[in-house]
């Protein structure tokens, strides 16, 4: 498997439908990730959403880190995992960035893809002086167990923070941070 790569708008715009597909699959298949959209998913809305994220890569406020692999039937390169680094402009917290949309296709999980993508994410974050990473995830989800294994420190919980795509119920979130040294 090749290294995790940074989305480059001049090279990778053909992969946007594949990003939409990973995103949609993670929402609609176990473990039913809470990730911005709720079923029934609208492909064109999600496509536009990813195009907006790609524009933020161009403007320099975001990185999209992707793991790609060849599709076993078509041989075509497709995205099997993604994570984003959102870098908001701020004079008071210029060293902070947000880790968003960590998503790996179900059949590619438990193979170290998240670990590889997060190493790449931390490399670029460090290089750009974003040494405090923040994120939130659903309480009692697998991701809650994954982040501490990657060195993230649990801050606490916010009750009834987000809506589950599974049954529309409100779920608690758990917040984490990691200081890069
Ligand atoms: C959470 C998720 C991103 C993990 O991705 P992954 O590629 O399978 O993770 P990795 O294989 O790189 O594993 C990273 C570490 O977490 C551990 N881990 C992975 N999945 C786990 C699980 N379900 N339960 C417990 N630990 C787990 C691994 O053992 C590894 O730790 P180790 O190296 O100390 O053994 C993936 O399950 C996923 O996409 N889930 C749905 C989307 C989601 O919930 N994203 C988080 C949104 S905030």
Q: What's the 141 CA to ligand 1 centre distance in angstroms?
A: 10
pLDDT, residue 33, reads 97
Q: What's the 102 CA to ligand 1 centre distance in angstroms?
A: 9
Q: For 69-81, what is each residue's pLDDT tens digit?
A: 999 889 999 999 9
pTM: 0.97
Which residue has its alpha carbon closest to ligand 1 atom 17? 146
Cα angle, residue 12 at apex, residues 6 and 16 outer, rounded to 5°: 105
Return the percent helix, strand and coil in the chain, to nearest 5.
35, 35, 30
CATH 3.40.630.30 at 5-133, yes or no: yes
Q: What's the 69 CA to ligand 1 centre distance in angstroms?
A: 18
- Under DSSP, the state recorded for 165 is T
**Which H/E stretch holds residue 178?**
strand 170-179
* DSSP-based three-state secondary structure for 31: coil
Given pLDDT bands bounded at 50, 70 and 90, which one contains residue 181? confident
Which residue has its alpha carbon closest to ligand 1 atom 36? 104
Which residue has its alpha carbon closest to ligand 1 atom 13? 112
Domain ranges of the chain: 5-133
pLDDT, residue 92, reads 98
Given pLDDT bands bounded at 50, 70 and 90, which one contains residue 1? confident
């Amino acid at each position: 498997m090749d290294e995790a790569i940074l989305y480059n708008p001049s090279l990778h715009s053909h992969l946007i439908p594949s990003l939409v597909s990973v995103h949609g699959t993670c929402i609609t298949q176990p473990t039913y990730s809470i990730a911005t959209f709720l079923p029934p998913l609208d492909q064109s809305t999600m496509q536009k959403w990813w195009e907006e994220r790609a524009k933020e890569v161009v403007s320099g406020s975001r990185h999209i880190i992707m793991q790609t692999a060849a599709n076993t039937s078509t041989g075509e390169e497709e995205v099997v995992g993604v994570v984003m680094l959102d870098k908001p402009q701020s004079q008071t917290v210029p060293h902070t960035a947000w880790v968003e949309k960590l998503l790996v296709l179900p059949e590619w999980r438990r193979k170290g893809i998240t670990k590889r993508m997060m190493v790449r994410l931390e490399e670029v974050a460090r290089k750009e002086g974003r040494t405090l990473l923040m994120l939130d995830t659903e309480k009692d989800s697998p991701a809650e167990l994954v982040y501490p294994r990657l060195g993230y420190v649990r801050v606490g919980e916010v009750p009834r923070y987000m809506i589950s795509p599974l049954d529309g119920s409100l779920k608690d979130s758990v917040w984490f941070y990691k200081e890069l040294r």
